[in-house]
Amino acid sequence: MHTAALDHLTLAAFVVVGALFVPLTVFASNLLAPRKPDARKGATYECGVEPVGPPWVQFRIGYYVYALLFVVFDIETVFLYPWAVAFNALGAFVLIEMLFFIAILAFGLWYAWKEGALSWR
């Protein structure tokens, strides 16, 4: 058998196993799980304390803006770390690309700051 055919067969096996893994584990869990209904199992549980007040609480939009900015700069770190590790082997073109990437993110941070997205109200 040729190596290309063997590679395709291996890939197909991984796809089949991956596609079957989730349904089979869910089925096995439903089949093997103990079923002992109890009123305490249906009760709301939050950090070991009985909840007080309505379950629907609306958060301020500022929390979402901070979370989104955190994710953006966290992803920046994910891109910067491998670049910094392989910096000597990459050359000047990749340095210019990374500086352009950092400039775009700096512009985004400046814009968020200018619009007042970082001020806590």
Q: What Cα–Cα distance (Å) separates residue 121 from each residue in 53, 75, 85, 118?
A: 25, 26, 40, 9
Cα–Cα distance measured from residue 62 to residue 99, given in angstroms and rounded to the nearest whole number: 29
Q: What is the pLDDT of residue 11?
A: 93
Q: What is the pLDDT of residue 1?
A: 63
Q: What is the pLDDT of residue 28?
A: 94
Q: What is the pLDDT of residue 55?
A: 73
Q: Which two tokens stand for residue 86?
A: 């392989």
What structural domains and CATH numbers belong to the chain?
3-114 (1.20.58)
How confident is the prediction for the chain on average, in pLDDT?
Answer: 85
pTM comes to: 0.49
For the chain, the DSSP string reads --HHHHHHHHHHHHHHHHHHHHHHHHHHHHHHS-----TTTTS--BTTB---S-S--PPPHHHHHHHHHHHHHHHHHHHHHHHHHTHHHH-HHHHHHHHHHHHHHHHHHHHHHHTTTTS--
pLDDT tens-digit profile of 4-44? 888 999 999 999 999 999 999 999 999 998 888 887 777 77
Percent of the chain surpassing pLDDT 90: 25
pLDDT tens-digit profile of 55-70? 787 877 778 888 888 8
CB-CB contact of 83 with 94 (8 Å): yes
